[in-house]
Amino acid sequence: MVMMAGMDDHERKIVLEFCHLLEKSKQLFNGLRDLPQYGHKQWQAYFGRTFDIYTKLWKFQQQHRAILDTKYGLKRWQIGEIASKIGQLYYHYYLRTSETSYLHEAYSFYAAIRGRAYYSRAAKEDRSDLMVKKLRYYARFIVVCLLLNKMKLVRELIQELDLQIADYASTYEPEDQVEWNLVLDEIKNFVKAESAVGVLHNDANPIILTHRLGPLTSPPIEHSPPMCLTLQEILIVGNCSDQVKFSELSVDMFRMLQTLEREPRDDPTHLHDASPAGRLPFRPGPYPAENGISRRDNPHKYLLYKPTYSQVQVFLASGFKELPANGALLLYLSADGCFSTVKHPEEMGYDLGGVSTSSKRDPEHGKRTSGGKEPHCLYPGDLYPFTRKPLFVVVDSDNSYVFQQIPRYFGQPLMVLMSPQETPSILRDLRHGGSLFTLFLHSPLAAFCLICNVGSLAVHHWERCQGYVERFLIEACRLVIRSRCESSILQFFGDDFLRLLLLRYVFCDIVLHLHRSFRGRHQRPCCHPQLPEAEVLQHPALHHIVMELASCIDARDNFTDNNELA
């Protein structure tokens, strides 16, 4: 309750208006939780109103800071809380639009909180809830920095969070102390796992690599008439029980998220002010479009960590509905296998099992009866309705191969990339740090080094090796286009993201085929429809480049040459 005594009319009006804006902003912000996370139009108007009120609030507190400080008693942590909510707004708007420029906006506000020490006196307020807000701010800031590859700052923030948790625990002896220590451990393990291979300067300091799509990442092509599709909608699903995760993101989900984004601009042109302290939030507009096809920098993505079957279906249906003409939908599944108990399979879409999207159990189903279906298993047959439009599926699971049975009932383009179902015993301990197959799709050279037991490379050596990978992808691209491949492959091949996934899949398949530790078909990936064996996967030119790369990192003995294979 604000005391109005001792204020003149002007001061009273300022304080009342600030209180009104503050209360209205809290109401709108809390209402965001009730918005659907799927679809494009259902939530945009509400987000717009929320941005508008926070713009007014932020500008108002800047213009009238002196009166608010002396008459209202505005504290620095309260300004920090407003800035933190604006950062959250931009972060969630990024999640809904896949526009990486909004990550920069979120970063600017979070960095301003740290730079201007808005939360520095929170501990002196003798309120445990303020310390919790400060800890949550740190966790959110770390997520944004991870997504922007600001790893040096991530490590600094981890150290600061460690100290803040210790201070919180010693001051309040809170019940959630163990939970916060678990969060800290999650972050540390996630950062350690994410950097699969170290790339070092001459002074042995690590270099931060970007794995987003840049101008030279995907080999350029001349588009032919079949290459008509553009990746527009993506659903990324994660549920690996033994994999490191942080903030509803497993390592595999994080890697695929970055793989399917373009490199963000370092200085987005729409930012109003280069000074974080003086910047104003802006209200993002609706997606611009031309001829019905979105002109966003990135495909629109949904992220689902351990979702129920119903959630997967709802988000798939939403992405399916939003597809424009010539748009393609990508479903990425990183999940534990859900294996069949059916002794005599008849229905190939359901009787062979699938992948488990969630460990939850539907109380209505109770225990599964013998021979019954798992309620939170996603079966290949569940995807049949979505093959009415172009569908590209990536399955990273120990039961991935069952998805090669998806038929093309509707004659639309369909492509399924499936991980190896088994990993050599010497590599199984690496599973918690992310799947090898997804790492190949994310950073082929890092995956190559990992299976050759190369933990770090000097930057000049890394760049030399990267040259071999780029040569491989360019040659593989040329061979695929010239080959007699299935029409679906060429239709997807015109999109930069999908072409890159396909070419990295080829690299993965050939590398694992030649590597001595990988034996048997179940330790190699597969795809449906199949890529031409003789014209692509067994082509001597591609095998030769892999051998050159192996020699470059002194790992030639790990590979079998063509003479031995013959």
- For residue 337, the Cα-to-chain-centroid distance in whole angstroms is 21
Give the bridge partners for 305, in sequence order: 238
Rounded to an integer, what distance in angstroms lies between the CA atom of residue 437 and that of residue 248? Answer: 21
Q: Which has the closest alpha carbon to 448: 367, 368, 535, 548? A: 548
Average pLDDT over residues 324-350: 89
Enumerate the domain spans of the chain. 9-196, 230-266+289-565
Each residue of 418-450: pLDDT tens digit?
Answer: 999 999 988 877 777 899 999 999 999 999 999
pLDDT at residue 482 tops 60:
yes
Rounded to an integer, what distance in angstroms lies between the CA atom of residue 451 and that of residue 436? Answer: 9
> Which pLDDT score is estimated for 43?
82
Each residue of 390-401: pLDDT tens digit?
Answer: 999 999 999 999
Rg (CA), the chain: 26
> Which pLDDT score is estimated for 221?
86
Each residue of 46-101: pLDDT tens digit?
Answer: 888 999 999 999 999 999 999 999 999 999 999 999 999 999 999 999 988 888 88
pLDDT at residue 516 tops 50:
yes
pLDDT: which is higher, 452 or 5? 452
Average pLDDT over residues 492-516: 96
> Which pLDDT score is estimated for 556?
95
pLDDT at residue 512 tops 50:
yes
- Range from 34-43, 124-133, 501-510, 556-565 that averages highest in pLDDT: 501-510
Each residue of 397-414: pLDDT tens digit?
Answer: 999 999 998 999 999 999
For the chain, the average pLDDT equals 87
Rounded to an integer, what distance in angstroms lies between the CA atom of residue 74 and that of residue 346? Answer: 69
Q: Which has the closest alpha carbon to 230: 319, 327, 97, 320? A: 327
> Which pLDDT score is estimated for 366?
42
pLDDT: which is higher, 340 or 85? 85
Average pLDDT over residues 241-266: 86
Provide the percentage of residues in the chain whose pLDDT is more than 70. 89
> Which pLDDT score is estimated for 307?
94
Each residue of 274-288: pLDDT tens digit?
Answer: 334 445 565 555 433
Contacts of 388 by beta carbon, 8 Å cutoff, 6+ apart: 320, 410, 412
Cis bond leading into 529, ω under 30°? Answer: yes
Average pLDDT over residues 189-196: 86
> Which pLDDT score is estimated for 74?
93
Cβ–Cβ < 8 Å for 495, 231 = yes
> Which pLDDT score is estimated for 341?
76
> Which pLDDT score is estimated for 292?
33
Residue 363 confidence class, pLDDT cut points 50, 70, 90: very low
pLDDT at residue 477 tops 90:
yes
pLDDT at residue 45 tops 80:
yes
> Which pLDDT score is estimated for 195?
80
Provide the 10 A C-beta neighbour count for residue 166.
Answer: 14
> Which pLDDT score is estimated for 467?
95
Average pLDDT over residues 377-386: 96
pLDDT: which is higher, 206 or 531? 531
- For residue 8, the Cα-to-chain-centroid distance in whole angstroms is 53
Q: What is the pTM of this model?
A: 0.91
pLDDT at residue 497 tops 90:
yes
> Which pLDDT score is estimated for 35?
86
Residue 4 confidence class, pLDDT cut points 50, 70, 90: low
- For residue 291, the Cα-to-chain-centroid distance in whole angstroms is 29
> Which pLDDT score is estimated for 282?
55
Collect contacts of 163-172 with beta carbons under 8 A, ≥24 apart.
Answer: 164/131, 164/134, 164/135, 164/138, 165/135, 167/123, 167/131, 168/128, 168/131, 168/132, 168/135, 171/123, 171/128, 171/131, 172/128, 172/131
Q: Residue 218: what are its φ and ψ, rounded to 5°?
A: -100, 130
Each residue of 347-357: pLDDT tens digit?
Answer: 889 989 999 99
Question: CA quadruple 72, 75, 77, 82: dihedral positive or negative?
Answer: positive
Each residue of 296-307: pLDDT tens digit?
Answer: 588 999 999 999
pLDDT at residue 466 tops 60:
yes
Can you read off the two tokens belonging to residue 537? Answer: 């996967």
pLDDT at residue 235 tops 90:
yes
